[in-house]
Structure 1
């Protein structure tokens, strides 16, 4: 057989294999998302109703729910979970709207976006630790105001953090949800066709005498709210079952239901797993109740404000509101900066007596001791993050290539499945995954944890890459195909080079999401695989404030390094393009 014939055969085989992989990628992606979630839910439902063969429980009953309802403080746990999630989501939504309405036609909106953007990748645990350093009785706020305003010479005993009303949790969740909701909304507005339409309607409203904020709420908001709904529901679902924020900022007697469930699951008394499973189903009902409450609020708001859209009123105190929001924006950004600065101070602080605003001694001792102990958690975090992110990026690219080759996007049903792990409380199905893992006698801890991370990384990676891939100019691929290029060659040499920056950005985002995963790591890993996040959370309530600050900063540095590398690559590319354009103009 001639060499040319062998080469053609190999090429045909590669193309056939690539086509097969592309065709099965959407099904594989759906399977990876559906099976663990539904299997996990099944693994929670059965023990919740008394079926747990590992404990010789093989008869269905309601004993787990009876134990759950008899738990002291269960009503407070339910109320705290519901109240903190709905209030934090509502505050994040209102602040997002007010910021966009105030700065919609101003360059300050892009600046605020750049300032709040980095907060998006700060893990929840690190954000909670930073906020705790800000609001504790000896925190940065008290130090800056003492003694010259407050007269305090020693820390006073106030409720924050760990207050019984969940105010600390609401503050933490709001500050963490706000950047996500703001950036998702601005991304929706940035769609070319929609952006042109919104700008035209906004300018028309201004030309008719409407004040800027009123013009936004009457002409722009009705068009963009449907695009905000899914991100809002995602943050509500997360907030209702969050563990890291309540564990670090919330009360302990009683805690939120999600924290209590985790404690029951880890108790040495294995019979409490039945109670924990019943609690996980109750947590799912709480999340559903939160989402239904939001839907009701939507309907009520629409009924109340519907007539105001066409009543002809040109302003609703716009000037006063604009001043208030401007002051609030400065306070918001200053508070975030102060929280991060306080965490840096504590990581280097030696002796630091209250009410001094700065440490009296600066030491490296805490960093030196932490860096010795944190090497294994860092390696674990990087390994798990790289595996889960790589699989997510490859699966996403192949699925989007399937869309391009077939000329149709995924169905609404498939798109909904992609976000399934974000909409269902993780605590409601992760326990089931652990139960299934134990039933199957799976000992591959690393693979189990990486797959658990993949469930949460994949939706974000898909969301990040889908828009860029779908906007690719099809003419490049058509020209390559007309020249005889195979689908594999077009994918590798035409499509992927154009998507270098979006792929790198999606990879950095995936790594950031993986680095921040606490509950999947601690549950699926069974405490056998420590990461920087699990160490930071475990140290937040029991260790030295200085050690906690170091671990939180290390947790923040991991995604920051990833995004910094993306920025360097982007800067280098832009310089090369500018140099090429300059050379072409010269020639």
Structure 2
């Protein structure tokens, strides 16, 4: 007879294999499901002959070269801008309390869904947006909205702006997270102070001493940002050009077309999207090598000053502009959601009403319920799998290998549009017609890497002496896990849960494709409304997109405080039964 202790241990040790299978099989199977139609195999059309017609159709599509160029340039430029601005902010405010104030201001932007951020930026830069209203008519002399190209400009400038502003907080928080590590942060700050004592200006000291040691910790986040930007759908749909659109948006349109033969072209486009993303990642790697080669001399030449004061002033102005853009975008959303009559060029509406919120709340009940249920189930499964996998590491006394860790982040590095179509095809082949289950599984693929990334460091830093003490007192592995480790990790688990919910709430393409358009969420409705519906209703949906993750993070912050406050107020509840008997005696 198998002991309960052995059942728990064996089950936990099998979890890493299950987690890898849940991530690798759908992604690889999805890629195979994209390859087959691209070369002529479409079960729905009973065609199995080998053909390159999909690629011929793709290459002959009007504006295909522009699609590739637009996708490549916008993703590379936005990632480069986000990285440069991140480095400038770190260099300017390193060892300054302003760095963490900026972090607190930009932190909430991280959890705002991409669609909501794009809608907010579009309200800012449209001809009748907040920017033109603030400067009219006293400076611009505009009595009617100007005829300019933003958003949807053919150069993709609006899209680059949206991607940059959305990914900048992520890179900055990843950098601050690396600096928060005790050994790395203390070492770099000490080296920075030594450089200052040797006469280097603060900016030069950062670029020569801190950045070369910090960059390896930013490489993976940067590559994830670049991969996402190259195949993003929500931001190009709302801010990008329409004729032609980016390659990812065009692939989505082809796949959803009623003409099934266009799925061949969509599959060929998905392969080209994958090749494009891989090419961009390779280009970034080559850019790293070139930068390292040509900057080596400047690192060791002993020069103390490189226009540091000028760069510092420029960074301060740039930081103020970025924060102003973000605040104006949010203010514009709030004003439009309550605006009654608002003529141009008035900076504020002439009246405020609740009609738009009342109407939208009546219409969004089903999408709101779908959003919460799908996000909760997907995140709960992700948290459980992550906790069991991390516990298996400790039971085996070794962490996951680098290769296994890379597999966990596979959905972050491979463009979703390159394998989601194949995943839908696989679901059709196995007869999975449960739209709700398919959507939850699609969300799980993207929630799981972020939850693992959030929980791994905290779990691995747990003091093992508590577990050893509990085991020496006769506690089984399951009791040690449930009653010793999990209570210590209450706050990190809730933060990871909130992060998983935020990621799930923002998913557009997995919801649209896996659900076959039958499952509506707040995100899918917001993207649809942004295409030409009432600006006031769009603002309500965008604000609801922001409100949901904000509530999740507030609960993740509030619940541990409430629990620990109760435990502090009732310390006798924490005592061992034997100790309580002794105290009574």
- TM, length-normalised to structure 1: 0.96
- Match for 1:92 among 59, 64, 82? 82
> Counterpart in 1 of 2:234?
244
CA distance in 2 between partners of 1:469 and 1:441 (Å): 38
C-alpha separation between the residues in 2 aligned to 1:451 and 1:474? 34
Tell me the SS of whatever aligns to 1:58: coil
Match of 1:182 in 2: 172
Whether 1:160 and 2:159 are equivalent positions in the alignment is no
5+ residue gaps, structure 2: 572-585
Unaligned runs of 5+ in 1: 1-8, 582-587
Shift of 1:231: 0.2
How far does the alpha carbon of each residue in 1:426-481 deviate from its partner, in whole angstroms, 9 at most, with x for none?
Answer: 00000001111122221111111101100000000000000000000011111111
**Structure 1 counterpart of 2:13:** 23
Residue 465 (structure 1) aligns with: 455
Counterparts of 1:265 and 1:100 in 2: how far apart (Å)? 43
Distance 2:474 2:357 in 1: 58
Map 1:544-583 → 2, pairs under 5 A = 544-572=534-562
Report whether the alignment pairs 1:390 with 2:383: no
Instruction: Tell me the secondary structure at the aligned position of residue 542 of structure 1.
Output: coil
Give, in angstroms, the shift of residue 328 of structure 1: 1.2
Judge conservation of contact 2:411–2:445 (CA < 8 Å) in 1. Answer: yes
1:20-59 pair list within 5 angstroms = 20-59=10-49
Partner residue in 2 for 1:451: 441
Is 1:415 aligned to 2:399, yes or no?
no
RMSD: 1.3
Distance 1:573 1:58 in 2: 61
Q: How far, CA to CA, are the matches of 1:176 and 1:282 in structure 2?
A: 25
Equivalence for 2:266:
276
Give yes or no for the alignment of 1:431 onto 2:421.
yes
Residues in 2 aligned to 1:367 and 1:195: alpha-carbon distance in whole angstroms: 46
Q: In the aligned structure 2, how far is the partner of 1:578 from the partner of 1:89?
A: 46
The answer to whether the 8 A contact 2:490-2:560 is kept is: no
2:150, 2:158 within 8 Å by CA — same for their partners in 1?
yes
Query: Bigger CA drift: 172-181 or 432-441?
Result: 432-441
Q: CA deviation at 1:567?
A: 2.0
Residue 57 (structure 2) aligns with = 67
Aligned to 2:163: 173
Change (3 A) 1:578 1:219: farther
Summarize deviations over 1:42-77 as a string: whole Å, max 9, x none: 000000011112112110110000000010000110
Q: Where do residues 279-294 of structure 1 align in structure 2 (5 Å cutoff)? A: 279-294=269-284
Aligned residues between the structures = 571
Match of 1:513 among 503, 506, 531: 503
| Residue 355 of structure 2: aligned partner | 365
- Distance across 2 between alignment mates of 1:221 and 1:203: 14
Match of 1:228 among 207, 218, 227: 218
- Cα distance in 2 for partners of 1:361, 1:433 equals 49
> 1:578 Cα deviation (Å)?
7.7
String of CA shifts for 1:278-335, please: whole Å, max 9, x gaps: 0000000110111111111111111111111110011111111111111111111111
State the shift of 1:531 in Å: 0.5
Q: 1:211-360 counterparts in 2 under 5 A? A: 211-360=201-350
1:572 Cα offset (Å) = 3.4
Select the residue among 82, 85, 108 that pairs with 1:118.
108
CA distance, structure 1, for counterparts of residue 460 and residue 370 of structure 2: 34
Cα offset, 1:22, TM superposition? 0.7
Once residues 461 and 218 of structure 1 are traced to their aligned partners in structure 2, the CA distance between those partners, rounded to angstroms, is: 34
Greater mean alpha carbon deviation, residues 438-447 or residues 468-477: 438-447
Match of residue 467, structure 2, among 454, 477, 480: 477
C-alpha contact (below 8 Å) 2:123/2:329 kept by paired residues: yes
Displacement of 1:570 after TM fit?
4.0
**Change beyond 3 A, Cα 1:188–1:580:** farther
Cα shift at 1:373? 0.7
Change (3 A) 1:579 1:323: farther
After superposing on structure 2, the runs of 4+ consecutive aligned residues of structure 1 that deviate more than 4 Å are 573-581
CA–CA distance in 1 between the matches of 2:25 and 2:58? Answer: 28
Q: Is the 8 A contact 2:491 2:557 kept in 1?
A: no
Q: 1:10-68, CA deviations, whole angstroms, 9 ceiling, x for partnerless residues?
A: xx743222112211000000000000000000000000011112112110110000000
- Residue 520 (structure 2) aligns with: 530
Distance 2:184 2:388 in 1: 28
Query: For the structure 1 residues 149 and 573, does the alpha-carbon distance in structure 2 shift closer, same or farther, using more than 3 Å as the test?
Result: farther
Give secondary structure in 2 for the equivalent of 1:158. Answer: coil
Deviations 1:115-137 (A, max 9, x none): 10000000000000000000001
Compute the displacement of 1:579 (Å): 6.8
Partner of 1:495: 485
Q: What secondary structure is seen at the aligned counterpart in 2 of 1:51?
A: coil
Task: Determine if the alignment matches structure 1 residue 137 to structure 2 residue 137.
Answer: no
String of CA shifts for 1:534-557, please: whole Å, max 9, x gaps: 000011012111111011111111
Mapped partners of 2:250, 2:550: distance in 1: 32
Matched, 1:543 2:533: yes
Query: What is the aligned partner in structure 2 of residue 191 from structure 1?
Result: 181
Whole-angstrom CA distance in 2 between matches of 1:573 and 1:104: 35
Do the aligned partners of residues 329 and 527 (structure 1) sit closer, same or farther apart at CA in structure 2, a change above 3 Å counting? same
Q: Could you tell me how far apart the structure 1 residues matched to 2:45 and 2:264 are?
A: 10
- Residue 144 of structure 2: SS of its match in structure 1? coil
